[in-house]
Amino acid sequence: MAAHRARLQEFEDTLQSDSIDRKRLGRLCFNGCPFENGYRSICWKLLLNYLPKTKSQWKEVLSKQRELYNHFVDEMIVKPGAESSSGAHADDHPLNPNPNSNWGTYFKDNEMLLQIDKDCRRLCPDLFFFQRATDHPCKEIINAASGVETLRKRVEQCVLQSETIQVDRLGKANMIMSRRKRSEEYMTLPDGQEAHWEVVERILFIYGKLNPGQGYVQGMNEILGPIYYTFATDPDAQCKEYAEADSFFCFTNLMSEIRDNFLKTLDFDSQCGIGSMMSKLVDKMKSSDERVSQRLQELDLKPQYYAFRWITLLLSQEFPLPDVLRIWDSLFADEERFDFLICMCCAMLILVRDELISGDFPHSMKLVQNYQKTKIDLQTILSKAVEIR
């Protein structure tokens, strides 16, 4: 208890300084950020370069960025295409073949939105938080009088009933009415409320619109989810109120560092992005535990089969959310920027070395693809990773 109070005091002293010592902060965060007093939220904003190290600038920076995010929401969701529609040509209609037309953009956006909606609805299924209503919905969107369509409803209207022809074995044709499967199994809130997953959906949609070269890639929801959860559950009321805008910019900054992992144009043999990270993992395993490394080769258990997800999603799918938050404290604080992630992956493999050495391919594959079921204590993994580093 006394040690915990001492750590809290260290965080307090570090964050009270007008010029934040980032190296000192990094050392503290590497061993875990306390949730009390919103320390994790503040530390992540600093470590992800959203807040400047000069504390006196925080208020101005936050105000400017939050206003900018509101502008994005207004331009892309509340009044999409408002500027261009005033000067729209008469030939801009749903069947216009021009891909740059307003309707062409709308249909292209819907393709991206359908995937975002599907992923966000099932975000952290073991945690009810994302299905709950937020206390800070976008007022312009949930106000029925505004006539603005929520992204959720826009998706539901995209999933239209269609007719297909089915021919039986006798050659008889029948018209079959089918509806593309929606997520009826997911609870939707009444009008006037927004679930937290809808907020995450809006952030990702805006990010995809602002980054057309990359767009939305499946798995980005798993990167944004823990960030948004941290800010939206912060004990500070203002942090909760602006969780959406702050999450957007922290997510954007994080993606600027790991975006190569999501580029479809880079294959596993590439010298950058996910290919490079998996090569580092192979090399680190050779130097950390040659026997396990050799056994993985004997089994032909390539890192693509398991480490692709581990690395791309920063281990967010391998552990329960509270453990993910603790892991990310160390990852964000890592001065080498995610080299510690490779050490974590090595530690995970070494800690199941006996099963890997004795098991066959199916058993080993199941083991590494469902690591959470090993029930190895997180602190044991972290300690091993520090030892490897």
CA dist 249 → 166, 277, 355, 359 (Å): 49, 25, 42, 44
Q: What is the pLDDT of residue 171?
A: 47
CB 138 within 8 A of CB 73: yes
Determine the Cα–Cα distance for residues 51 and 102; give it in Å rounded to an integer. 36
Q: What is the pLDDT of residue 159?
A: 58
pLDDT per position as a tens digit, 147-170:
667 888 888 766 543 334 454 544
Which residue, 123, 109, 114, 124, is CA-closest to 206?
A: 109
For the chain, list the domains and their CATH numbers. Answer: 56-85+98-150+188-261 (no CATH), 266-388 (1.10.472.80)
∠ CA 22-23-27, nearest 5°, is 115
pLDDT per position as a tens digit, 229-273:
999 999 999 999 999 999 999 999 999 999 888 875 545 555 567
The DSSP-derived string for 64-90 is HHHHHHHHHHIIIIISTTHHHHHT--T
Q: What is the pLDDT of residue 141?
A: 84
Per cent of the chain over pLDDT 70 is 82
The whole model's pTM is what? 0.86
Per cent of the chain over pLDDT 90 is 61
pLDDT < 50 positions in the chain: 83-90, 96, 160-165, 167, 169-171, 173, 175-184, 266
User: Which residues, 6 or more positions from 167, have their beta carbon under 8 angstroms from its beta carbon?
Assistant: 173, 174
Q: 195: which strand partners?
A: 133
**CA 47 centroid distance within chain:** 17
